[in-house]
Structure 1
Amino acid sequence: MLERLLGQLAGVSPLGEVVHLWQRDLVDDERCGCGDRFSACGFWQKVGVEAFGGWDAVDPRRVHELAAAVERTRHIPRLALGRKPKGLDEYAGYYSKVYSAAAAVTGATAVVDSSKHSALAYCLRHAPGIDLRVVHVVRDSRGVAYSWTKKVMRPEAETDEEMTRYSPSRSALLWNAHNASFGLLGRLGVPVLRIRYEELLADPVATLRNLATFADLPEAAHEMSFLRATDDGYVADLGPSHSAAGNPMRFTIGTVPLRRDEAWRRSLPKGQRRLVGALTAPLLSAYGYRFGGTT
Structure 2
Amino acid sequence: MSVLSVVLEHMSEELIVHVFTFLTPSAIVKTMQLSKEWKRISSSDRIWRSLCEQRWHLPQRMMRPSRYGVHTYFGLFRQLQASHQRPQGLYSTHDKPTWGHSLNEGVETWLALGHRADCKTIPINGKRYIQLRVIVQNLSAAEVLVDASAIQVHYKNGTKTTAMARNPSPGATPAMEPKILAWNGRVGGDIADGHLLLRFFEFTVLSIYVECEMGCTFEADFLERAFAVWVPMMRRGHCSDLSRCRCALIPDHYHHFGTIMNIVDESIIWSRYSEFAGGFMVLNCKDRLISVSSHAALPARYLV
Q: TM-score interval w.r.t. the shorter chain? A: under 0.3
Q: Which has the higher contact order (CA 8 A, sep 6+)?
A: 1
Return the TM-score normalized by structure 1. Answer: 0.26
User: Rg: which structure is higher?
Assistant: 2
Structure richer in strand, relative to its length: 2
Structure richer in helix, relative to its length: 1
Return the TM-score normalized by structure 2. Answer: 0.26
